[in-house]
Amino acid sequence: MSDTKLTTTAGSPLPDNQNSRSAGPRGPLLLDNYQLIEKLAHQNRERIPERVVHAKGSGAYGTFTVTHDISRYTRAKLFSEVGKKTELLMRFSTVAGERGAADAERDVRGFSVKFYTEEGNWDLVGNNTPVFFIRDPMKFPDFIRTQKRHPRTNMRSPTAMWDFWSLSPESLHQVAILFSDRGLPQGYRHINGYGSHTFSFWNDDGERYWVKFHFKTMQGHRHWTNEEANQVIANDRESAQRDLYEAIERGDFPKWRVFVQIMPELDAEKTSYNPFDLTKVWPHGEYPLIEVGVAELNRNPEHYFAEIEQSSFSPSNIVPGIGVSPDKVLQSRLFAYADAHRYRVGTHYEMLPVNRPHSVVNTYHADGPMRFDAPKGTDHFYEPNSFGGPVEQPFAKEPPLRINGDAGWYDHRAGNDDYTQPGNLFRMFDEGQRQRFFANIAAAMQGVPRPIIDRQLEHFHSADPAWAAGVEAAIRATHTEPASAPTTAADVAAAAE
C-alpha cells in the first residue's frame, strides 16, 4: 500500500474520513462505525499531564563544541578533547504559568540541556538565575503553591507570594533577580543559563572538584519593561516560542558560551559561606569563570508534542566524571524528576526517541506499559547470570565522598546571611535599573496587606536601606492605601480576600 493511503491504526484502509456511518442520511450513527470511535477515542487521549512546574516551554536541538581543555578536572568523555562535538536538546520555560500561559511574563526561565554523550545522557536542568528561592527542598511544594492559583479565587495571589517570601528570607537573592530587568527577558535567546547548584567533577586520578555551570548568551541580554510586556502579550502570547523558532528557521542559530567555576574539594570546608547553599553564588574573584565550549541550537523539532512536550530532563541523568553535591535541593531533585516522568509520560519514557540516549542502553528493566521493542536476550533477564548478560562497570564509580554528621532536622535559616549577596547585587544596579526595580516590586505588591509589605521591607532594609526606601517611595506613589492598615492576623486574612 502506498504511503498516502489513509488507514485505521490497525492498518486497515479507511473508506470515508468526511462522513460518519449512519442509518440513512438523517438517521442516527451506528456503533459499528469503529473508524469514528477510534478517532474520538484517540482525541480523548491526546494530552498528557502538563509539567507540574515549567509547563510552558520551547525547545530545539543543537550541538556542544569543546573549545578549551578541562580534562584535568573531569573524565567525562564529552569534554575529552578540544573540537569534540556532542548533540544536545535544550528546553526553555517559564515556571508558574500553565501550558497556555503567555511567554512575556515576569518569571524565572527554565534552562534545560540534554547532552547525548557517548556514555549516556547528561541533563543539566537549570534556570536563567544562578540561585533559587529556597535552600531546603521541604519548602519547594509550599513555594510553588504561592506561585500557582489560589484554591478559592483560582487566581494568582500576590498576598501568598509576598507572605511566603517575607517569611523565608533565603528567597531574597532570587527575588532581587526576579524583579530586576533579568526577570522579564525578551526571549529565550537573550538569557543566560546556570546549573545553579554546585555539582562535582572527578578525574581519572580520582580527584573531586566542586563545579558550577554558566551558559552566557552570545545574543546579548534584552528585556521588556512591564508596560512593554503588556503590549507584547496583547498581540502575541507565544513571543518567545516565535522568536526562537523563527531565528532557527532563518539560520540565525543562537549560541551560548559555556563556562565552569571550579572549587577544589577541600576548599568547601574553608569558605565563609556554605558552597552547597543554592541561595548563594561563588564570588568570581575567588573562583573565576573558566571557558569550556559553545552550545548552539540549529534544528527545530519536527513535532512539538513528541519531541518537546514529552522530553524528560532529570538532574539524576549524569555520566562518569560528573557527579552531584551535598546541596539538599539537588539531592531531592534526583528523586523528583524521574518520578514525575514516570507519571507524566509513562514507565518507559526514556525509550522515546527524544529521551533515548545516543549510546548503548542495557538494563534489566523490561516490562511495563509501552514497551516498544523486545528486550535483548531472553535468557539473561536477571543478574548475575551465566548467559552473557550486561555486567556492571566499576570504572563508573565516583571517588568516595567524605561525609559526617548526626541525623537530625537542622534549621537551615539559623545563622545564615541572607542579606549580603542580595545587597551586593542591588548595589550593582545603576540608577535606571534601580528605579525600574522599585517600580516592579511596588507593582507586584498591589493589594498585599500592609503587615506583609512591612515585613518584606525589613528584609530589603537589611540588604540595603536604599532598597527599602526606594520600594517604599514607589509604593507611596502608586498604591491606593486601604482606609486603615490591617494589623492582626485576622485583619491580614480579611484584607487578603
Whichever of 159 and 421 has its CB closer to ligand HEM, that residue is 421
Smallest distance from ligand HEM to CB 57, Å: 5
**Given the residues 54, 190, 214, 380, the one annotated as active site:** 54
Segment 92-121, which members bind ligand HEM (CB under 6 A)?
93, 110, 112
Based on the residue annotation, tell me whether 459 is a catalytic residue of this protein. Answer: no
In terms of Cα–Cα distance, which of 280, 296, 284 is closest to 260? 284
53 lines the binding site for ligand HEM (CB under 6 A) = yes
Would you state the cell numbers that stand for residue 146, as one nine-digit string?
504561592
Strands 208-217 and 290-299: unpaired
Q: Which stretch binds ligand HEM (CB under 6 A): 49-57, 72-80, 403-411, 446-454?
A: 49-57
Smallest distance from ligand HEM to CB 50, Å: 8
The CA radius of gyration of the chain, in Å to the nearest whole number, is 26
Smallest distance from ligand HEM to CB 79, Å: 21
333 lines the binding site for ligand HEM (CB under 6 A) = yes
Cα torsion angle, 345, 147, 187, 234, sign = positive
- Alpha helical stretches, state H, 185-271: 226-235, 239-249
b or e along 254-271 (b: 16 or more beta carbons within 10 Å of the residue's beta carbon)? bbbbbbbbbbebeebeeb
Smallest distance from ligand HEM to CB 435, Å: 29
Whichever of 333 and 436 has its CB closer to ligand HEM, that residue is 333
CA–CA dist 451, 487 (Å, integer): 6
Q: What are phi and psi of 194, to 5 degrees?
A: -135, 140
91, 173, 214, 237: which one contacts ligand HEM (CB under 6 A)?
Answer: 91
Q: Please name the helix (run of DSSP H) or strand (run of DSSP E) that holds residue 194, with its range, or none.
A: strand 193-194
218, 334, 336, 466: which one contacts ligand HEM (CB under 6 A)?
Answer: 336
Q: Which stretch binds ligand HEM (CB under 6 A): 8-16, 337-345, 354-362, 418-426?
A: 337-345
Binding mask 134-153 for ligand HEM (x = CB under 6 A): ---x--x-------------
211 lines the binding site for ligand HEM (CB under 6 A) = no
Judged by CB under 6 A, the number of residues near ligand HEM is 27
Based on the residue annotation, tell me whether 121 is a catalytic residue of this protein. Answer: no
Smallest distance from ligand HEM to CB 126, Å: 5
In terms of Cα–Cα distance, which of 212, 231, 255 is closest to 62? 255
Whichever of 134 and 452 has its CB closer to ligand HEM, that residue is 134
344 lines the binding site for ligand HEM (CB under 6 A) = yes
86, 312, 421, 462: which one contacts ligand HEM (CB under 6 A)?
Answer: 312
Would you state the cell numbers that stand for residue 268, as one nine-digit string?
568547601
In terms of Cα–Cα distance, which of 320, 325, 410 is closest to 122? 320
Cβ atoms within 10 Å of 404's Cβ, excluding its own: 4
268, 340, 351, 443: which one contacts ligand HEM (CB under 6 A)?
Answer: 340
Taking a C-beta distance cutoff of 8 angstroms, is the pair 177, 425 a contact? yes
Helix, strand, or coil here: 117? Answer: strand
229-233 long-range contacts, CB within 8 A, separation 24+ = 229/104, 229/105, 229/106, 229/184, 232/104, 233/102, 233/104, 233/105
94, 196, 300, 317: which one contacts ligand HEM (CB under 6 A)?
Answer: 196
Whichever of 97 and 110 has its CB closer to ligand HEM, that residue is 110
**Given the residues 127, 192, 317, 355, the one annotated as active site:** 127
337 annotated to bind ligand: yes
244 lines the binding site for ligand HEM (CB under 6 A) = no
In terms of C-beta density within 10 A (0-12 exposed, 13-18 middle, 19 or more buried), how is residue 241 classed? buried
Q: 85: which strand partners?
A: 65
Positions annotated as catalytic residues are 54, 127
> Which residues are known binding-site members?
337
Q: Which residues bind ligand HEM (CB under 6 A)?
A: 51-54, 57, 91, 93, 110, 112, 125-127, 132, 137, 140, 196, 311-313, 329, 332-333, 336-337, 340-341, 344
> Which residues are known binding-site members for heme?
337
